Chains A and B, each alone.
Chain A
Amino acid sequence: MPNEVLALEKVNLRVDEGELVAIVGGNGAGKTTLLKHMNGLLKPVTGTVRVKGKPTTESSVAELSKQIGLVFQNSDHQLFSESVKEEVAFGLRNFGFPPSEVEERVARALNAFGLGQMSDRAPLTLSGGEKKRLCIALVTAWDPIVLALDEPTVGQDHLNKVRLLELVRRLIRDKRTVLIVSHDLEFLWPLQPRTVVMSGGRIVADGPAASIFTNFELLESSGLRQPQLARLAVALESPSPFRDVDEAVAWLREKNGPWSSGSQTAFGKG
């Protein structure tokens, strides 16, 4: 980094087309720095970063941005137009989409994220959650080959997280490549992504979510907290992690507990 802080060190990472990869770690682990190397905002001091086989040092940020759609962590850093629809249209025009296609893509993006009614609003008057949705909408509008989301659930309420989860699932079904930088393991858990754990600028683990998210020591030492369902599974000595609430309930009902007979035993009372 320009201030001579070693932000990334000996990072080896390959992401294949169509993969869903979560990059997790505490604040300052190097996750955002890693993302910024993918769209050329940062260039490596040693080693190489390649997108579709081509080193990022041989492409401009503009060329890379069309391929790597990056949604910033701080929405205020990504919004500057006079209206919501102009915000979405800006990138499309810059990438040379014809006017009729710009209009169609803007409408589709706004509707997909529940922003259709706000198309004339000034982006800076939106709530924090609405701004985040707008940033995701504008980046998905030009269909980049990789969608990179930097802490997408920050400031999002439950419904927006559900929408986001559904969007990611749709992208996976469409065989898009999706990178999610997040410390929101509760959000990531149902997606069961390949998970890369970063700490102190290094990759400290890389594997399936089921093994990473249940490794308490690894998560704690990396500034993360196990998802509640993973903690519950470990605490109850379940042979496998609970993917969702229904799985946890089904497992508990199989046990010979009072709830299996439908009793309403007062919790905490004898």
Chain B
Amino acid sequence: MEFNDFSFTYAGSTKPAASHVTFTVGEGDVAVLAGLSGSGKSTILRAINGLIPHIYPGEYSGSVKVEGMTVQETPTYELAKKVGFLFQNPENQIFMFTVERDIAFGLENMGYDPKVIREKTDWAMDLLGIRDLAKRSPSELSDGQKQRVAIAGSLVMDPTILVLDEPTSLLDPHTALEVVRLTKELNKRLGLTVILVEHRLELVSTIASKIIVVKDGSIWIQGTPQEVLLSDGLEEVGLSLPPVVEVQRKLGLKSGGIALDVEDFVKEVPRLWR
């Protein structure tokens, strides 16, 4: 995926929502988009699956390429074959009467053979551990279960890229961690390229290969989690750093890297205490 000097101003607005955005996400990478509310993260996500510019009109410049396709020149139904998109609230993309019908919806729309639809739906439900929910109404499910149904509905389309817009924001910590681990597992098992928006860096910094920080529609910094979490001026961007990272920064433990979670930090402490 490649953003090249991408800028976009929504119709009716005078201020660009995204300004000269340039970054790449390599095949199989897990990239985290972070930044304040209103900083342009959702705009960037919408530019990946073609909602911008095909559904959200506005002033568009630069280019976005996904799997070799130029988004601006490719219809959304073609992009949808490659890009699975998960909204922040799974209720916004689940609407059928049963879980399996919802998962199968996209395949039915694409005219797949019923036997193939059955096989793919069963495969996705098994992968996400929701086979026992097949006949249930999605409205009865917990938020974490709904999230899995939404992910399954995306996976049956065989995407190569999975885009998740704050996938854990409605979830309790255990379920949030489960979804994060699931995302990493899908990345490893299926080789999916993942790009996700997440405020809580303590959840995702250990699975991300890249963090891209957005401020006022522009990229403020991008790099590995180590590079980003050690950089200066993070307070200015309003990022919520994992407390254990903040502790290490204040202790001046910078060179050579820092531990990204409590367990790794605590393992190192006795060795460093002479």
B-contacting residues of A (Cβ < 8 Å)?
Answer: 25-28, 73-74, 76, 127-130, 151, 154-161, 183, 185-186, 223-225, 227-229, 231-232, 235-236, 245-246, 248-249, 252-253, 255-259, 262, 264-269
Contacts and interface: CB of A to CB of B under 8 A. Distances in A.
Contact of B253 (A229, A232, A246, A267): A267
A192 B150 CA distance: 36
Contact of A249 (B88, B169, B242, B247): B247
B266 A235 contact: yes
Given A223-B174, A227-B243, A157 B238 contact: yes
B143 A27 contact: yes
A29 to B, nearest CB: 8
A267 B89 contact: no
A267 B266 contact: no
Interface stretch (B30-38, B65-73, B106-114, B183-191): B30-38
Interface of B: 35-38, 42, 88-89, 142-144, 166, 169-175, 177, 199-200, 202, 238-240, 242-244, 246-248, 250-259, 262-263, 265-266, 268-269, 272-274
Given A26-B175, A130-B37, A268 B266 contact: no
Contact of A236 (B88, B199, B251, B266): B266
B13 to A, nearest CB: 10
24 contacts: A26-B172, A26-B173, A27-B143, A127-B38, A127-B42, A130-B38, A157-B35, A158-B199, A159-B37, A224-B172, A228-B242, A228-B243, A229-B243, A232-B262, A235-B263, A245-B246, A248-B243, A249-B251, A257-B269, A257-B274, A258-B274, A259-B253, A267-B255, A268-B257
B273 A257 contact: yes
B203 to A, nearest CB: 10
A198 B226 CA distance: 37
Given A27-B142, A245-B250, A232 B256 contact: no
A119 B223 CA distance: 37
Contacts of B89: 74, 76
A186 B129 CA distance: 29
Given A158-B238, A255-B273, A223 B256 contact: no
Interface-central residue, B37, B88, B169, B247, by most chain A CB under 10 Å: B37
B250 to A, nearest CB: 5
A258 B273 CA distance: 6
Interface-central residue, B35, B166, B251, by most chain A CB under 10 Å: B251
Q: Provide the main secondary structure of the chain A interface.
A: loop
A28 to B, nearest CB: 6
A232 B247 contact: yes
Given A232-B247, A258-B272, A258-B273, 14 more contacts: A26-B173, A158-B239, A186-B243, A232-B244, A232-B265, A235-B263, A235-B266, A245-B247, A249-B247, A257-B269, A267-B256, A267-B258, A267-B259, A267-B268
Given A158-B240, A256-B273, A183 B172 contact: yes
A52 to B, nearest CB: 32
A223 B172 contact: yes
A27 B169 contact: no
A74 B248 CA distance: 36
A225 B174 contact: yes
Contacts of A252: 247, 251
A266 B257 contact: yes
Contacts of B38: 127, 129-130
Contacts of B200: 186
A269 B253 CA distance: 11
Contacts of A257: 269, 272-274
Nearest to B243: A228
A156 B174 contact: no
A156 to B, nearest CB: 7
Nearest to A251: B247
Given A157-B240, A161-B240, A252-B247, A259 B252 contact: yes
Contacts of B175: 26-27, 223
Given A27-B142, A157-B238, A161-B240, A267 B172 contact: no
Nearest to A232: B262
Nearest to B237: A158
